[in-house]
Amino acid sequence: MTSMLASRDRVADRARLIDFLAEYGFVVFFAIWVVFLTFATDTFMTDTNLLLLLRQASIYGIPAIGATFVILLGELDISFGSVIGLAGVAGATILLAGGDSIAAIAAAVIVGVVVGAINGILVTVVRIPSVVATLGMLSIVAGIGIVYTGGAALHGDELGTIDWLAGGYVGPIPVPVIILFVGYAIGWFVLNRTRFGTHVFLTGDNAEAAFRAGIRVDRIRSAVFIIAGALAGLGGIILVSRVSQAQANFGTDFLFPVLTAVILGGAGLQGGRGRIENTLIASIFLASLLNGIILLGVDAEYQQIVLGAILIAAVSLDRFRT
């Protein structure tokens, strides 16, 4: 009996260790990485570099809010990579036609909302698995952007109208960093303090049980895909503001880090489990990795190797936990 209890305790301890590593292991590594860069470089802990790091984190941290909602449902949206590009093109088109910055931001967000709504219809009405539906939309949206722009970049002095979106400050804090933290604060509130957030977790944990409990599962799914699309659209116009041009394929580079941030933050691929604040920390962690690699003089090509290894490790820990 004693040996059986000891064996059960060992299994329980191992399960708790895996849970901790899957959800918070990257935080420990993050702290070690920060300490290393502080001593290995002269510029990492400077105000200028830290603000640059947070600006970088905002580019894929903002779309990661919506991606977190989707994964909490047990679904997957990979169309946002193309949405970022097309939304940026839409916003740039408004500006080049003489529109103001508010109209450009609205156009970018509307593009995201439309694509998100279509994703929701494909998943809830047509009943196509989300990964297949959004993969198809990834290609369609990218194709629309390339056909519209002819594969060329949109640029002009008119794009300077939205310089404040990526380059402006409120006091000492950059505008995109404020948007980043406000977005996560709202996301945390919605998920943890509203009925909608509760329904997202319940649907992701067991959609059949949620449906039998009276939750409008399909409506929740549709709303979440729309939220994800809107945030991807916002990320697209912020990207245009940062680089002062728009191109249909700009968002493809952010597909991988966004998903990596969500999974690394501990959101379970099976749905129903995760903390959105961990996605924020993971986004900053990934930005610090790329920032640190550059400061250390490592070739940029190694960034993709590092991101791939982190994604595999995060998914592996999630699979061990489940």
pLDDT digits (tens, 9 = 90+) for 214-230: 999 999 999 999 999 99
Lowest mean pLDDT across 106-115, 281-290, 297-306: 297-306
For the chain, how many structural domains are there in total? 1
HSE (CB half, 13 Å, CA atoms) of 97? 10
Whether 48 maps to a domain, the answer reads: no
Q: Which two tokens stand for residue 45?
A: 């802990």
Is the pLDDT at 5 greater than 60? The verdict is no
Percent of the chain with pLDDT over 70: 90
Q: For 138-158, what is the mean pLDDT? A: 92
CA separation for the pair 97, 54 (Å, rounded):
32
Beta bridge partners, 174, equal: 169
Lowest mean pLDDT across 18-27, 188-197, 271-280, 287-296: 18-27
Is the pLDDT at 264 greater than 90? The verdict is no
What's the distance, Cα to Cα, between the start and end of the chain in Å? 28
Burial class (CB in 10 A: 0-12, 13-18, 19+), 157: exposed
pLDDT tens per residue, range 178-189: 999 999 999 999
Q: For 271-300, what is the mean pLDDT? A: 86
Whether 118 maps to a domain, the answer reads: yes
What is residue 222's predicted lDDT score, i.e. its pLDDT?
97
For 246, which DSSP code? Answer: B
CA distances for 265 relative to 24, 54, 177, angstroms? 8, 17, 19
Is the pLDDT at 17 greater than 80? The verdict is no
CA separation for the pair 145, 214 (Å, rounded):
40
Which candidate, 250, 251, 306, 317, places its Cα nearest to that of 278? Answer: 317
What is residue 294's predicted lDDT score, i.e. its pLDDT?
84
What is residue 2's predicted lDDT score, i.e. its pLDDT?
61
3 state SS of 128: coil
Is the pLDDT at 23 greater than 70? The verdict is no
pLDDT tens per residue, range 205-216: 999 999 999 999
Whether 205 maps to a domain, the answer reads: yes
Q: For 253-260, what is the mean pLDDT? A: 84
Is the pLDDT at 95 greater than 80? The verdict is yes
Q: What number of residues does the chain have?
A: 322
Q: Phi and psi dihedrals of 54, rounded to 5?
A: -70, -35
What domain range includes position 251? 61-321
Whether 217 maps to a domain, the answer reads: yes
Within 10 angstroms of residue 152's Cβ, the number of other Cβ atoms is 10
Whether 10 maps to a domain, the answer reads: no
Whether 95 maps to a domain, the answer reads: yes
Is the pLDDT at 18 greater than 70? The verdict is no
Whether 67 maps to a domain, the answer reads: yes
Whether 150 maps to a domain, the answer reads: yes
**Would you say 245 and 159 are in contact if contact means Cβ atoms under 8 Å apart?**
yes
3 state SS of 67: helix
Which candidate, 288, 283, 291, places its Cα nearest to that of 266? Answer: 283
CATH number at residue 239: 1.10.3470
Residues 6 or more apart whose Cβ sits within 8 Å of residue 217: 203, 207, 210, 211
